Amino acid sequence: MKGKMKRYLVLEDGTVYQGQAFGAARVSVGELVFTTGMTGYQEAITDDSYAGQLLVFTNPLLGNYGVSLVDSEDLNSSCAGVVCRQLARVVDSWRSSETLDHFMQRQGIPGISGIDTRALTKKLRNAGTMQAELVDELPPTANVVDNLVRSEKKELLFRDNQIAPFMIPGSGFNVVLVDFGAKQSILRELIKRHCNIVVVPETATAEEILRFEPDGVLLSNGPGDPQDHPNAIKMIQEIQSKTVIFGICLGHQLFSLANGAKTYKMKFGHRGFNHPVIEIASQRSMFTSQNHGYAVAADSIDHSVLTETYVELNDQTVEGLRHKKYPAASVQFHPDASPGPHDAIDVFDDFIAMITSQQEEKIAKKK
């Protein structure tokens, strides 16, 4: 059986893990990262923020409730591969339409099971994320390591962005969603609030966005280094005085860069949905869903321009910002969760409230 075939995980430091193959039969190279979520493997695998990454699940059992189409964050997965301790032999869920193994075969994603993911996660916490490769036949380890070390470790952008803008009609405010790799759950939250949504690619210019006469602009999540998006940073600088802006994850980092702050690559990032965050103004704490390998440098923030609104309780990283002059704000975590706790779901209501306030101010000025 395919599940009994050997597969190897080779790290750039020379460590080799032997396990069993599942999913697609192909070689795959990517940045090896771990996520601490106990459920939500399908949402993670289809989250485009994991583009080009080999995803280690710390939860020991994967695939026990199968896969359901409605739980995907994107129809086409872009993660490089999946690493787990045990792949479930039996699927038990009335919602399931196929097994995780079959889903990953269709999506072209290779997987490896039988790995001591506890030891692997400890290694990544100590050494930091690193390049790795999934192979079915193990060539001389030195050759694999040499290729990994010499390979260009460039971060992947979401997609080629040749898609045309499209609309999801609604009866509420006009919201332009700039798609850097947006999760479907973000769209669902905007739809719940009756927004008329126009989705544009990450290459959209300020002129193109303002042509849609937005009441607000949402900068989505996505993969990679925020500094690889100079055009988006320029776009934000040009529109933030003209409309309401709200950034999520990568959108948060781009918003910070557009206003003079700096970002840095974290040792092993935040991935999972048990990250404690506190809202500074109210001192309200909450658990959040997160997926990022970069963060905003706290000491680079110009406090005459930006105010910190949220902070992560474990490592004190910046989790939220608000502009002091313009109606613009951002959060590092995923308020839409999916999966994870919905402690922060009202952040979307804050975005709508910012738009409402701006509309009221415009009406008042006309009187």
Residues noted as catalytic = 249, 334, 336
63 is in an annotated binding site: no
For residue 197, the surrounding DSSP H or E stretch is: strand 196-201
Judging by DSSP bridges, how do beta strands 81-83 and 53-57 pair with one another?
Answer: parallel
User: Which residue is listed with tokens 């059986």?
Assistant: 1
172 is in an annotated binding site: no
Residues 6 or more apart whose CB falls under 8 angstroms from that of 124 comprise 32, 33, 34, 56, 130, 268
* Residues contacting residue 211 through CB under 8 Å, at least 6 positions apart: none
Work out the end-to-end distance of the chain between its first and last CA atoms, rounded to an integer number of angstroms: 75
37 annotated among ligand-binding-site residues: no
Phi first, then psi: what are they for 195, rounded to 5°?
-70, 145
CA trace torsion 323, 328, 334, 337 (10° rounding): 130
> How far apart (Å, rounded) are the C-alpha atoms in residues 321 and 299?
13
DSSP class of residue 298? G
Known binder of ligand: residue 185?
no
Q: Tell whether 293 is in a known binding site.
A: yes
Instruction: Please indicate if the annotation marks 224 as binding a ligand.
Output: yes
- Is 161 flagged in the annotation as binding? no
Alpha-carbon distance of 339 to 51, in angstroms, equals 18
Residue 250 assigned to a binding site: yes
**Tokens 């609604």 sit at which residue?**
170
Q: Which residues are annotated as a binding site for L-glutamine?
A: 49, 222, 224, 250, 253, 291, 293-294
Q: Which residues are annotated as a binding site?
A: 49, 222, 224, 250, 253, 291, 293-294
